[in-house]
Structure 1
């Protein structure tokens, strides 16, 4: 029997943080080396080592070549997977995923692979990208697009951001696939009320999938009626009031206006549009002229096809407002402490979200009951100081939680340039936050040297 001496744990907060960061770096380096060994194992067992693979397939037995990654990655001998998986403590299926991620990185995502093997990127973050590019069956061009755009920021990109980038890669590099997915999503819209399994309390389950604009309209309508019920004295919870509001909404509109199209157009011309939901849609000039097929919906922070935007804007009940382009590099300032809407709008468009490390709360309120970020003075406002302190170059969006943390929690930050911020934690760790995400730039974060 062997015994291991107990690890002597640090007795100070700073010591615990330093030890934790050091162990994390060692674990990341070991995981990177294991990925390299996985690739080497696949190289030693290529598809060519399978004897008479075609005859085995025809007989329905024996070993066959298998593809574990996307197009452009080599095939491997099927039976080699189980042995490698067992050696590293994985089941065979989990071993397929692991080897597939390693091959995907090595052969289809070379920029990410280079960052992993040099210790600049944690392997688990790279594997998260590989899992997406394999799962979405990206072609070579789309995978290269993801690799090019993700590699510099892979350590900071959030899962939702990665999903959106993969969607954009499909839209740009696989337009036929993107259009097919859009049509499938459109065809999958439904609204179901299950009367077959009514509960003992007399409730039914409602589920569905709606067009985004319709879903936002429905949400606004139900929220409004739920608020009216509360004002009228209903003491039920918000969830219960929303369920009651759905019934009230149904009873208010029992029939459609079955009138000739000519009369419908006349009615629409004589009354204002009824769609009140605000969608913030961003398009480039190239998209407007047909040269690019991707736009962005700020409400969902996701790419959408130009065709989808065209359908939303072309709805007869839509009130379309086109705002002038805002120069995000322009310095706009006032002498007062209060931040006017035009400056807050520019700051929100520039930074998109709260600029605290890793926070993703939208900078401005995108829903009627939502909460946007506060527009914070990076340097405290000095009533006796020089004019122009409330300037776009000295302001940043902070959600209420992180605004309080900055004000009362000993966190500090500096604007390196508009949109780029250096944060310092109470224990002196530093994080660089910009439009690509958050990067830990503390001195003790440098990876240990490779042997």
Structure 2
């Protein structure tokens, strides 16, 4: 008879050598976990300190709220260059870090001691955001005890209920306040797709999904009749509910309630098509401009997007993606459909080697300078920002009040946020030839912001001249 150790040695993957190797991996993993926790805690404290610095810089200043916001934006933009992210993201992380350090000291201590993980900290902070500051300490202590020895996802519901019990205001009161924050936002995804996220009262959200589901079910149930009609006369049949004749509605005519022979869309696909069709082509029931039996003016509003597409793609000579400015590439078929009903075109003449936009004209000319800047910049020109030019403001790099000319060589697109940062903080910018912007942060860091490259790749007969950095030097920025 073999001993237990001998059996383990003979059992392949359960040998003593394998167990020893696994033990070494576990020890390494524990070391990595400890090191990662230390780095995460240090990052949180650095970001919290950045938030405190913004407040200290504006202590006693007039219009203190606006001054603090400008200081925080400036600091966030400075740190964003180090963290290689956007200043908006950094500002949000600064606010979260400061809230954690200042309002959850016991949680920070438990995290540093290794009693809980970063996941537990997020759950505690998320659930605790509704707890009044007077009882936050009580919530924190109970929450830490619940977290020890359990995974974050298992304690989330318990902490939410704990926070509810400690809140002095009724759920109805808090729901009314929360409903004021309802919003819609877009989260870009891969392969020309995005998530459209609407934050709504739960009953409204459930009602929307139920209506979409029932409408999609009606369309799917109508398929046998459509297939039968198609077999009888060789033509597709069906109806379009609320469809639009405006092709800029991004394909609404081919979506929505269209029922036709050979329709093989899934429930999810039909539901998504109906959703897009209703939003792009429907008239809101709450339109305050509606009078009598006529439609209100809100129903006449059509979706507007900014797309840059090459002539080769439009003519079908290639299927390269077009650029939905500020978001992501879109497929060639969608770009061609959008182009089909567009009555106003901006035609861009670009340099054959560098791709710099040289001229811009249109069949129906309007504000040529604005068109050129919109074509050249495509989005906000602050480092890291991708806000589309159609939602930006035109800024004089060298202020007009200081003698700066109103010319494309002194103009650039900036979103409202970064326009304010330029004028109300110590961020400075110079504009060089070809629309190149050179930003200098308050601490002296320099960021080169080139005009976006062209979408069409050219193959010149000769090698292009090497790209060199501009003479950033010590010349004072405007």
Normalising to structure 1: TM-score of the pair?
0.36
User: Higher RCO, 1 or 2 (CA under 8 Å, sep at least 6)?
Assistant: 1
Looking at CA atoms only, which structure, 1 or 2, has the larger radius of gyration?
2
Bigger helix fraction = 2
